[in-house]
Amino acid sequence: MSDFILAALQSLMSDPVLLLMIAGGVAAGLVIGSIPGLTSTMALALLVPLTFSMEFEPAIGLLMGVYCGAISGGLVGAIVLNIPGTPAAAATCLDGYPMARKGQLSRALGLGVYASMIGGVISGLALVFIAPALSKIALQFGPWEYFTIVIFTFLTIASLSEGDTLKAVAVAMFGVCLSMIGYSSGVGESRFTFGINAFEGGLNVLPALVGAFALPQLILDTDRIGATVNRLDARFRLPEFMRAFVEVLSVKWAVLRSTIIGILIGILPGVGPGLSNLLAYSQARSASRTPEKFGTGELPEAIVSPEAANNASMGGALIPMLTLGIPGDASTLMLLSALMLHNVEPGPLLFVMNGNYVAFIFVAFFVAFAFCTVFYHLLIGTIIRVLTVPTQYIVSVIFVLCVIGSYVLNNRMFDVYTLLAFGLLGYGLRLARFPILPLILGLILGPMAEEQLRLALEYGRGSYLPFVTRPFSAAILGLTLLSLLVPLVTHLRARRKSLHTEGN
C-alpha cells in the first residue's frame, strides 16, 4: 500500500487540475458547511450526480474536499450565529458563541479550527493503518458474514437513532422493500413494477439520496426566509486566531481523548460526527476540574473537544465504507454512491484490485485538510460575511441544482420524479420523527443483503446453522445483540433513577 500512496502523492502533485479540484471542493465545503441548514450530506448530494462525467481522480478529489470542508465549516455558524452550520457542530455552540460574545471571536474560531485540523489528521492516520488491516480480515468473509454485517448495520443505526428504535427498523425494512422494485437477476423476473415500465430498471439510488436528504431540509429552510440574521459585531483578527494554536496544545489530552472518541464513533455504521461532537463535549465536562465553567465561554477544552471529535469521525467513517462497503454516516453514504457511480465497488477486494484508488482517497483526505488549514487563515473573514446571504436565494439555487443533477444521470424525467417523491417521503418522515438514514441504507444495502442471504443458503444447503457456527459471523451477531442491549439497559437505568428521584 505504501507504494500506491507514494504514486498517488506523486500523481497529485504533478497534476494541478487535481489540486484545484480538491481546493475548490474544500472552499465550497467551508462555505456550505458554515451556512445553517446546508449540511455536508446536502453538499455531497448536490455534487455526486455532477461528477458522473468526470474521471475517478478529479471526481473523488472534489468530493473529498467538500466532505472535509463542509463538516469542518460547521463551527463558523456555531460560533458566529449560535446556529450550528451542520449537526456535527451542535455542541460547539455551547461555549463557542459565549466566548465570541465576550469579544473573543478570533480566539474561539482559532480553537475550533486548530482542534479540527489535529483531529482530522490523526483520524486520517488511523484510516491509513486500520483500513488495510481490516480489509485483509474481511477477505476471509463469506456470504454469512456479509449478511450479518448488514443486519448489524441496520440494528446499530436503529438502536442509536433518536426516537423509537422500532421506527428506525420499520424505515430500514421499507427501504429494503423499495430496493426490490425492478428486475432481479437472482429471481430472474421483475418484481413490484405494477405494470409500469419505468420501474423495470428499479429506483435510481442517487435521486433518492438527494431527495430524501436535501429536499426536506430545503422545505424546512423556507421558514427562515425573511428572518433577521443576528451576527456578532466583532472584528476578526488573524494574530489572535493564530495564538489559539498554543492553547489547543495546552489541552492536548482533551484533544487526544476526543479524537479517539471521534474515530471510534465514526467506525460505527450510521452514527457519524453528530454523536461524537456531543459525546466528546460530555466527556470533557466530566473530566474537567471546573465543570461549572462549561457553557460560559472560558475554557478552551469546551470548544476543542467537540471539534476534534467531529473531524476525527470523518476518517473513522471512511474505514467501514472502504473495507466493507458499509457507510459510517450519511456523508460517507454519498461517497459510497459516488464510488458505485464510477464502477468502483467498495469492499476488501478494492484494496487488492484497485489499491491505487484507495491510495488516492487516502492522499486526497490529507491534502483536503491541508487546504482547510490554509483557507481558514485566508478566507475566514469572507466566510463570516457569507452567513448573511438571504435564505431565499440559497434555497432556490440548490433546488434547481437538485433537479438538474438528478436529470443528467440518465437524461430521463423518471429520476426527477424519484427525487420529488423521496423528497416528500423524507419530509413526511421528519414530521413524524422517523429517521431518514435507515431508509436510504435499506435501499442501498437491500440488494446486497438479499444476494448474500441467497448465496449463504445455497452454500449451506438451506441451513441457517453456519450463521452461528462460523466464528466471524457469530461474533458479528454477538455485537448486534450487544448494540441492542446497551441502549436498552441504559434506558432502564435512567428510568429507574428517575423513579427513585421522584419517590424521594
List, for residues 37-51, the tens digit of each pLDDT value.
677 777 887 788 778
pLDDT at 491: 64
| Residue-level length of the chain | 504
CA angle, corner 452, sides to 448 and 453, nearest 5?
115
Asked whether 8 and 58 are in contact (CB, 8 A), the reply is: no
pLDDT at 159: 63
CA angle, corner 94, sides to 487 and 296, nearest 5?
125
Write out pLDDT tens, residues 101-138. Answer: 888 888 889 999 999 999 999 999 999 898 888 888 87
pLDDT at 271: 63
pLDDT at 256: 92
> What's the CA gap between 166 and 155, in Å, rounded?
10
Write out pLDDT tens, residues 176-223. Answer: 888 888 877 766 778 888 878 888 878 887 788 778 877 887 888 777
Write out pLDDT tens, residues 351-394. Answer: 888 888 889 999 999 999 999 999 988 888 777 777 766 777 77
CA angle, corner 162, sides to 421 and 227, nearest 5?
65
> What's the CA gap between 335 and 117, in Å, rounded?
21
Of 390, 265, 253, 259, nearest in space to 328 by CA: 265
Residue 209 in 3-state DSSP? helix
pLDDT at 363: 92
Of 393, 376, 311, nearest in space to 124 by CA: 311
233 confidence band (pLDDT: 50, 70, 90) = low
The residue among 52 and 36 whose pLDDT is bigger is 52
pLDDT at 365: 92
Residue type, 421: A
Over range 88-97, report the average pLDDT: 82
Give the number of other CB atoms < 10 A from CB of residue 102. Answer: 14
> What's the CA gap between 372 and 259, in Å, rounded?
18
C-alpha cell at 200: 423495470
Of 372, 335, 388, 325, nearest in space to 131 by CA: 325
Q: Is the pLDDT assigned to residue 228 strictly greater than 60? A: no
344 confidence band (pLDDT: 50, 70, 90) = confident
> Residue 11, class by beta-carbon neighbours within 10 Å (0-12 exposed, 13-18 middle, 19+ buried)?
middle
Residue 299 in 3-state DSSP? coil
Q: Please report the sign of the dihedral spanned by the C-alpha atoms of residue 330, residue 331, residue 336, residue 338.
A: positive
Percent of the chain with pLDDT over 90: 12
Write out pLDDT tens, residues 301-311. Answer: 889 998 998 88
> What's the CA gap between 49 and 283, in Å, rounded?
39
Instruction: Find the farthest-apart pair of alpha carbons in the chain and give their distance in angstroms, rounded.
Output: 71
> What's the CA gap between 412 and 313, in Å, rounded?
37
pLDDT at 219: 83
Phi/psi of residue 441, nearest 5 degrees? -60, -40
Which alpha helices (H) appear in 35-142, and where do they start and end?
Answer: 40-47, 56-80, 92-101, 105-138
C-alpha cell at 170: 420499520
Write out pLDDT tens, residues 254-271. Answer: 899 999 988 988 887 666
pTM for the model stands at 0.77
Instruction: Give 230-271 as a 3 state SS string.
Output: CCCCCCCCHHHHHHHHHHHHHCHHHHHHHHHHHHHHHHCCCC
Query: Which of 62-66, 142-146, 248-252 bottoms out in mean pLDDT, i.e. has the lowest?
Result: 142-146
Q: Which residues contact 197 (CB under 8 A, 6 or more apart)?
A: none
Of 310, 320, 317, nearest in space to 273 by CA: 310
Question: What's the chain's Rg over C-alpha atoms?
Answer: 23
Of 26, 247, 246, 256, nearest in space to 122 by CA: 256
C-alpha cell at 362: 487516502
99 confidence band (pLDDT: 50, 70, 90) = confident
C-alpha cell at 104: 473573543
**DSSP annotation string for 389-424:** S-HHHHHHHHHHHHHHHHHHHHT-HHHHHHHHHHHH
